[in-house]
C-alpha cells in the first residue's frame, strides 16, 4: 500500500489497508475441530481472558469510513482492536523522525524530489 499510494493518487485512486485483530466470525472455529463452540461462545471465553475481540460490524464500519473519506482516506492503515480504530499510518508518519533518525529522514525526503530513472520508449532510453 505504501509503495502504491503515490502512483494511485496520480490516477485519483485511493488505496488503504484495513487490519483487524481477532474478529468474531466462523473462521475462528470453522476448521479447528478442537474448538467445537460457536464463534460467539469462543469470543466470550477469550474476552474473559482479556483478549480484545472485534465484532464484524466494526470492520465493516472501518471500510465504510474509508469509502466515505474517498481520496482523503488514501494511505490510511486502519488497525481495529476491541472494536476501536487507529490509523497506524498517520501515527507512523508523525513520528518518522523518531524512528528513522534525522539523517535518514532527509535522505528519504530527498528521494521524493530526485529525477526519475531512465525508461525505455520504443527501444530507446528517454528521460522522464
Instruction: State the residue for C-alpha cell 475441530.
Output: 33
Which residues in 3-27 are b (16+ Cβ under 10 Å) and which e?
A: eebeebeeeeebbbbbebbbbbeee
CA distance 116 to 128: 6
Contact 20, 59 (CB under 8 A): yes
- 24 pLDDT band, cuts 50/70/90, is confident
Extended strands (E) in 49-117: 77-81, 84-87
Would you list the domain boundaries of the chain? 2-87, 95-128
pTM of the model: 0.69
Which of 5-14, 22-31, 32-41, 104-113 has the weakest average pLDDT?
32-41
- 40 pLDDT band, cuts 50/70/90, is confident
Res 76: pLDDT: 95
Average pLDDT over residues 22-39: 70
Amino acid at each position: 500500500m505504501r509503495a502504491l499510494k503515490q502512483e494511485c493518487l496520480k490516477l485519483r485512486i485511493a488505496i488503504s489497508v484495513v487490519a483487524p485483530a481477532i474478529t468474531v466470525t466462523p473462521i475462528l472455529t470453522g476448521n479447528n475441530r478442537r474448538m467445537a463452540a460457536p464463534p460467539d461462545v469462543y469470543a466470550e471465553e477469550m474476552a474473559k481472558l482479556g483478549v480484545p475481540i472485534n465484532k464484524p460490524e466494526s470492520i465493516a464500519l472501518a471500510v465504510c469510513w474509508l469509502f466515505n473519506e474517498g481520496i482523503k482516506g488514501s494511505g490510511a492503515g486502519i488497525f481495529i482492536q476491541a472494536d476501536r480504530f487507529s490509523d497506524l499510518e498517520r501515527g507512523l508518519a508523525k513520528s518518522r523522525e523518531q524512528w528513522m533518525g534525522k539523517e535518514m529522514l532527509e535522505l528519504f525526503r530527498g528521494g521524493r524530489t530526485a529525477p526519475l530513472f531512465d525508461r525505455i520508449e520504443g527501444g530507446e532510453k528517454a528521460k522522464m
